[in-house]
Amino acid sequence: MSVSYFLKNKFLLPAALIVLASAASTAVSAATAAASSGWTPAVTDTWEWQLQGKVKTTVDAKVYDIDLFDNTAATIAGLKAQGRHVVCYFSAGSSEDWRPDYSKFLTIDKGNAVDGWKGENWLDTRSPNVRVIMKARLDLAVTKGCDGVEPDNVDGYTNKPGFPLTATNQLDYNRFLASEAHTRGLKVALKNDIDQVKALAPNFDFALNEQCHQYSECSVYSNFVKAGKPVFNAEYAKSYVTSKTKRDALCASSRAAQIRTLVLPLDLDASFRLSCD
C-alpha cells in the first residue's frame, strides 16, 4: 500500500507509522540475532587473510578474513560449518570504482587518489552520504553471515585525502563504524590507525595491523592484548620470506608480544603463507 494512500487518509497515518516502526524494529532485531555468533575474539585465535582469488578453505586457522563483496553467503556458511569465524573486509575510508555500490558515492564525497591503488579515492568521512553507504555495507555483512568486519583505510587524516580531516574527525568516524557494527551484532577490527590505537582500543574487538614489526610499532597494541583482544599482524618484507633467521627472530618477538603474525604476499592472494603460530 502506498504512502500517498495514507496521506489521503490522515486518520490512518499514526497507526501506519506504528506498524512501519514495529516492522523496522523487528527487521533490525532479526538481522542482529542472525549476525551475532557468540564469538568473542581471543588472543589465542589464529587467523588467515585472503582478499584476492578463490578462498582456500583448508588453512588451519580459527578466523578467516575475506572480502565482503567478492565472496558469497555460501562460501561464508561453508567456513562457519568448519568451525571458523569469518571477518569480512571492506574499505570504509576510500571509494573503489570496481565495487557494486560505487555509484552511490557523490562527487563531493571523493577526494584525492589513494597512492598506489588505481581506481581508489579517499572519502570525506564526515559526509552523511558516506556513512549511509557504510551502514548498508554492514547490513550486507549481516545478510551474508559474517561474524565480524574489517573496515579498511580508517586513518585518512594522516594521509593527503583532499579534505581537511582532523584526528578528531577520524576518532568520530571510527567510533561510528564500531558502534554501527556492534548494533548489528558484528565484531569489528581496528585496522592500522597506529596513532589512535590507545584511544580506540575500548571501542574495538580486535586489531589488524600491517608491518608493525618492520616499523617497530607493535608495542602500541599492548592495550588490546592486556584487554584480552587479539592483534592480527601481517608482514610483507621479502627478508622474512627468504631468511629463516630473520623470520625466526620475527616470530620470537611476535610470540613474546602475544601478537598473531603472518608473513604474506602483498596481494593477499594466498600464494604463500608463513605463520608464526
Given a cut of 90, is residue 35 above it in pLDDT? no
Q: What is the pLDDT of residues 88-138, one digit of tens each?
A: 999 999 999 999 999 999 999 999 999 999 999 999 999 999 999 999 999
Residue found under cell 623470520: 247
Domain ranges of the chain: 36-275
- In 3D space, the residue among 144, 216, 146 whose CA is nearest the CA of residue 181 turns out to be 146
Question: Which pLDDT band holds residue 187 (cuts at 50, 70, 90)?
Answer: very high
**Helices in 55-166 by DSSP H: which ranges?**
73-81, 128-144
Given a cut of 80, is residue 153 above it in pLDDT? yes
Given a cut of 90, is residue 3 above it in pLDDT? no
Coil, strand or helix at 9 = coil
Going by C-beta distance under 8 Å and a sequence separation of 6 or more, which residues neighbour residue 178?
188, 190, 200, 203, 204
Given a cut of 60, is residue 26 above it in pLDDT? no
Question: What is the spatial distance between Cα 220 and Cα 272, in angstroms, rounded to a whole number?
Answer: 28
Given a cut of 80, is residue 276 above it in pLDDT? yes
Mean per-residue pLDDT over the chain, rounded: 90
| 13-22, 156-165, 251-260: least confidently modelled range | 13-22
* Dihedral pair phi/psi, residue 124, rounded to 5°: -80, 100
Given a cut of 80, is residue 36 above it in pLDDT? no
Question: What is the spatial distance between Cα 57 and Cα 239, in angstroms, rounded to a whole number?
Answer: 27
Question: Which pLDDT band holds residue 16 (cuts at 50, 70, 90)?
Answer: very low
Going by C-beta distance under 8 Å and a sequence separation of 6 or more, which residues neighbour residue 16?
6
**Residue 186 and residue 138 in contact, taking contact as beta carbons nearer than 8 Å:** yes
Q: Which long-range contacts (CB under 8 A, 24 or more apart) does 46-50 make?
A: 46/260, 46/275, 46/277, 47/230, 47/232, 47/260, 47/262, 48/262, 48/273, 49/232, 49/234, 49/262, 49/264, 49/268, 50/268, 50/269, 50/270
Question: Which pLDDT band holds residue 29 (cuts at 50, 70, 90)?
Answer: very low
Question: What is the spatial distance between Cα 110 and Cα 208, in angstroms, rounded to a whole number?
Answer: 25
Looking at residue 38, its pLDDT comes to: 84
- In 3D space, the residue among 151, 160, 69 whose CA is nearest the CA of residue 122 turns out to be 160
Given a cut of 90, is residue 54 above it in pLDDT? yes
Question: Which pLDDT band holds residue 37 (cuts at 50, 70, 90)?
Answer: low
Q: Which fold has domain 36-275?
A: TIM Barrel (3.20.20)
What H or E segment, with its residue span, contains residue 275? strand 274-275
Question: What is the spatial distance between Cα 41 and Cα 5, in angstroms, rounded to a whole number?
Answer: 49
